[in-house]
């Protein structure tokens, strides 16, 4: 069943302490991971895990840590607990964009996050795929407040037959924001005023909430999946036979390609996934 749950619902939007452990922890996986991950004991480690549902952790940036190799941020979750988020993209040119978007007070939304233990003993979340994280230019408090308004408006839309009113002056509305398709306005002037006052930040948040509203959060579905490393690894287990067919064709027509070189590259892996799935 699709629809955006309350962002305070820790079944779908867990705090850091409730996240499943990643494969880097040198411990056995316990039953607490069952809400997030299905295990196939007949498969080897790193290939035996697949998501049961969609989940996302919200982390407000508290401080940027000085780190010479990659961006690392001190963050706090909905419970107030602080931990680290490290960006470990293969393409380091993307770090410039990360530094531009990530500011103190903004919120990171990380899909399929797992608890990671770093080499210095600190715990946090390691982000390895750009598609797995979204930076919203609002605090956690503002995100929750906007989400409450969004969910209330969705219910009111289904229940009410009243005409829409302008988000800026409450007069009858004639058109909507072309980006989020949610905020409505009576005139271009009102839309411009509201954009400068409030909607410039809210619009990005509303677009993300609208996207999440299409999810069936209870059931993991490839259609809405974000390509985190964890999801890619779980998909490998399903699609390996299809990969081999594609690789065999590539090697037949272009002998210069090799199976290891194709499958060792995340971008090639993602491309093969999209070809295989669609």
- Give me the CATH number covering residue 55: 2.40.50.140
What are the distances in angstroms from CA 74 to CA 17, 85, 135, 228? 15, 7, 14, 21
Q: What is the DSSP string of 32-48?
A: GGGGTEEE-TTSPTTSS
Residue 75 lies in a domain: yes
- pLDDT on residue 53: 86
Residue 58 lies in a domain: yes
- pLDDT on residue 152: 85
> Quick check: 275 and 243 in contact, CB under 8 A?
no
The structure tokens 């002037």 sit at 189
* Nearest residue to 247 (alpha-carbon basis) of 260, 234, 237, 231: 260
Task: Indicate if the pLDDT at residue 209 is higher than 50.
Answer: yes
Task: Indicate if the pLDDT at residue 28 is higher than 50.
Answer: no
Of the chain, the end-to-end C-alpha distance in Å amounts to 23
**Number of domains forming the structure of the chain:** 2
Per residue in 40-96, pLDDT (tens digit) is 667 665 566 678 888 999 999 999 987 778 899 999 999 999 999 999 998 989 999
Residue 61 lies in a domain: yes
Q: Which is more confident, 145 or 229?
A: 145
Q: Is the pTM of this model over 0.85?
A: no
Residue 231 lies in a domain: yes
Per residue in 234-274, pLDDT (tens digit) is 554 444 444 545 545 554 544 433 344 444 444 554 454 44
CB atoms closer than 10 angstroms to residue 239: 17
CA angle 187/193/196 to nearest 5° reads: 140
Beta bridge partners of 73: 64, 85
How does strand 123-127 pair with strand 82-87? Answer: parallel
Residue 25 lies in a domain: yes
> What would the mean pLDDT of 90-116 be, rounded to a whole number?
93
Residue 182 lies in a domain: no
Task: Indicate if the pLDDT at residue 107 is higher than 90.
Answer: yes
Segments forming the whole domain that contains residue 257: 227-277
Residue 49 lies in a domain: yes
- pLDDT on residue 48: 64
Residue 272 lies in a domain: yes
- pLDDT on residue 191: 92
């Amino acid at each position: 069943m699709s629809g955006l749950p309350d962002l305070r619902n820790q079944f779908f939007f867990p705090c850091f302490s409730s996240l499943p452990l990643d494969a880097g922890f040198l411990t056995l996986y316990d039953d607490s991971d069952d809400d997030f991950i299905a295990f196939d004991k007949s498969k080897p480690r790193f290939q035996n895990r697949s998501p049961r549902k969609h989940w996302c952790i919200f982390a407000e940036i508290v401080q940027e840590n000085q780190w010479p190799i990659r961006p690392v941020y001190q963050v706090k979750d909905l419970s107030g607990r602080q931990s680290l988020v490290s960006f470990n993209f293969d393409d380091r040119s993307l770090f410039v964009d990360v530094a531009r978007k990530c500011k103190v007070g903004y919120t990171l939304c990380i899909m399929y996050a797992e608890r990671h233990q770093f080499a210095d003993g600190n715990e946090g979340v390691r982000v390895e795929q750009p598609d797995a994280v979204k930076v919203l230019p609002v605090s956690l408090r503002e995100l929750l407040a906007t989400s409450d308004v969004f969910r209330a408006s969705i219910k009111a839309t289904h229940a009410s037959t009243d005409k829409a009113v302008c988000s800026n002056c409450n007069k009858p509305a004639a058109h909507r924001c072309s980006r989020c398709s949610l905020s409505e306005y009576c005139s271009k002037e009102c839309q411009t005023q509201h954009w400068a006052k409030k909607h410039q930040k809210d619009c990005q948040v509303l677009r993300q909430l609208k996207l999440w509203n299409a999810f069936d959060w209870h059931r993991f579905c490839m259609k809405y999946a974000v390509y985190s490393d964890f999801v890619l690894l779980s998909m490998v287990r399903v699609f390996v036979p299809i990969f081999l067919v594609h690789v065999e064709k590539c090697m037949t027509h272009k002998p210069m390609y090799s199976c290891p070189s194709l499958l060792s590259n995340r971008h090639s892996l993602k491309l093969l996934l999209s070809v295989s799935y669609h």
